[in-house]
């Protein structure tokens, strides 16, 4: 995210929902609607094409989703060194009242 902020030269504020508070997260509501859409139609999600077809036919608040299939294989087990993480942390401005849940990243 820090690289993304620098690339676009904009600030980004990350606001996280605390664990077990998904009812307040709008994207979680969308997943619930998608789940009902699949189950309500007796969908058998046997392959990617069927899944994408079902997902593209759902609506949420009158809107259809924008879908794309990523076939990128990501490497597992990659992490930053402590030194690199310290550099990232120096760029993060954490809200003192909610340091885990409210983080501002300013561009350089």
Distances (CA, A) of 99 to 24, 25, 44: 19, 19, 43
Q: Please give the chain's pLDDT, 108 residues, in tens.
A: 999 999 999 999 998 887 777 777 777 777 777 777 777 666 677 888 888 888 888 887 788 888 889 999 999 998 999 999 999 999 999 999 999 999 999 998
Secondary structure (DSSP) of 41-83:
TT----SHHHHHHHHHH--BTTBPPP-----PPPPSS----HH
Q: What is the pLDDT of residue 43?
A: 66
Q: What is the pLDDT of residue 65?
A: 82
Which residues, 6+ apart, have CB-to-CB distance to 85 below 8 Å? Answer: none
Cα atoms in the 13 Å half-sphere on the side-chain side of 69 = 10
Q: What is the pLDDT of residue 10?
A: 96
């Amino acid at each position: 995210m820090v690289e993304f902020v620098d690339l676009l030269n904009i600030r980004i504020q990350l606001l996280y929902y605390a664990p077990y508070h998904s009812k307040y997260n709008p994207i979680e509501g969308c997943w619930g609607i998608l789940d009902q859409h699949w189950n309500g139609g007796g969908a058998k999600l046997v392959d990617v094409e069927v899944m994408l077809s079902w997902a593209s036919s759902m609506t949420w608040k009158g809107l259809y989703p924008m879908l794309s299939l990523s076939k990128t294989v990501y490497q597992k087990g990659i992490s930053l060194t402590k030194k690199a993480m310290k550099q990232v942390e120096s760029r993060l401005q954490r809200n003192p009242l909610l340091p885990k849940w409210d983080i501002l990243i300013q561009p350089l």
